[in-house]
């Protein structure tokens, strides 16, 4: 699972013009897409209770997962709140620093204005470094938080061969596997959003795209 970059320079080699270009990340995305297609082929018939002990364990574990992760308690809702909070907090800091700077056309040719803005540009870079650390901390914490549910699913799904059950039971297995792939996608979304934010903020720092921060938020938030 690709994690957020450790620093600004690394991030800028992983993304270009709002698109991720890092080969390892692209390969991971392709593998994830293949796994989703495989799960989709199992989604036939009505979900069944399952007759064997293994299938009953799958059904019971799925029921517990759904009960514990519904509505506002859903992983997607919870992670969205945390990502938005992080974006707002650091975005506000960047905005306040930008507002303290003296306006100057890009590229800035007024030496006095340019030199006067240098301390603010350094502040913005410092805030961005803190934000990168926060994305990595969120990634690690979210991975740890969701580990129990993923391990529980793997434990009951691994022994069951979908080819050896009927369509109804396959639908139950497919639903559970699809939910676990969604868990993987959510963790991965932290990495993707962090990359787009970093590139956008750096564009704002060099003046090439003044509203890049909000643009990245809209695209990947």
Q: Where are the domains of the chain?
A: 23-220
Q: Binning pLDDT at 50, 70 and 90, where does residue 72 land?
A: confident
CB 1 within 8 A of CB 27: no
pLDDT tens readout for residues 120-148: 999 999 999 999 999 999 999 999 999 99
**Does residue 208 surpass a pLDDT of 70?**
no
114: which 2 tokens? 């340019």
130: which 2 tokens? 């803190």
Q: What residues does 19 pair with on adjacent strands? A: 16
CB 139 within 8 A of CB 3: yes
Instruction: Say which residue, 15 or 51, is predicted with more confidence.
Output: 15
34: which 2 tokens? 């293949």
12: which 2 tokens? 């800028």
Find the radius of gyration of the CA atoms of the chain: 22
Smallest Cα–Cα separation from 63: which of 199, 188, 172? Answer: 172
**Does residue 77 surpass a pLDDT of 80?**
yes
CB 11 within 8 A of CB 132: yes
Q: Binning pLDDT at 50, 70 and 90, where does residue 171 land?
A: confident
The whole-number pLDDT of residue 204 equals 74
Of the listed ranges 31-35, 71-75, 143-147, 184-188, the one predicted with least confidence: 71-75
**Does residue 41 surpass a pLDDT of 90?**
no
Q: Which of 8-22, 32-46, 89-103 has the highest mean pLDDT?
A: 8-22
The whole-number pLDDT of residue 168 equals 73
* Distance separating the N- and C-terminal Cα atoms of the chain: 19
| Residue 101 DSSP class | S
The whole-number pLDDT of residue 67 equals 94
Of the listed ranges 103-117, 129-143, 158-172, 197-211, the one predicted with least confidence: 197-211
The residue count of the chain comes to: 221
The whole-number pLDDT of residue 203 equals 82
The whole-number pLDDT of residue 215 equals 47
pTM: 0.86
């Amino acid at each position: 699972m690709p994690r957020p970059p450790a620093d600004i320079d690394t991030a800028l080699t992983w993304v270009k013009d709002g698109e991720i270009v890092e080969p390892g990340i692209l390969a991971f995305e392709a593998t994830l897409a293949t796994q989703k297609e495989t799960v989709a082929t199992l989604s036939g018939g009505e979900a069944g209770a399952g007759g064997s002990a293994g299938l009953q364990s799958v059904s019971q574990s799925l029921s517990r997962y759904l009960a514990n992760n519904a509505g506002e308690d859903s992983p997607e809702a919870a992670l969205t709140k945390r990502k938005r909070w992080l974006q707002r907090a650091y975005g506000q800091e960047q905005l306040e620093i930008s507002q303290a700077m003296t306006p100057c056309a890009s590229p800035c040719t007024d030496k006095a204005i340019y030199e006067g803005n240098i301390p603010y540009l350094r502040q913005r870079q410092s805030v961005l470094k803190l934000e990168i650390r926060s994305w990595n901390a969120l990634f690690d914490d979210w991975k740890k938080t969701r580990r129990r549910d993923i391990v529980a699913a793997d434990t009951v799904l691994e022994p069951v061969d979908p080819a050896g059950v009927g369509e109804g039971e396959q639908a139950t297995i497919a639903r559970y596997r699809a939910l676990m792939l969604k868990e993987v996608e959510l963790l991965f979304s932290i990495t993707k959003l962090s990359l787009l934010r970093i590139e956008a903020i750096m564009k704002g720092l060099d003046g090439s795209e003044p509203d890049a921060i909000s643009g990245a938020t809209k695209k990947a938030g």
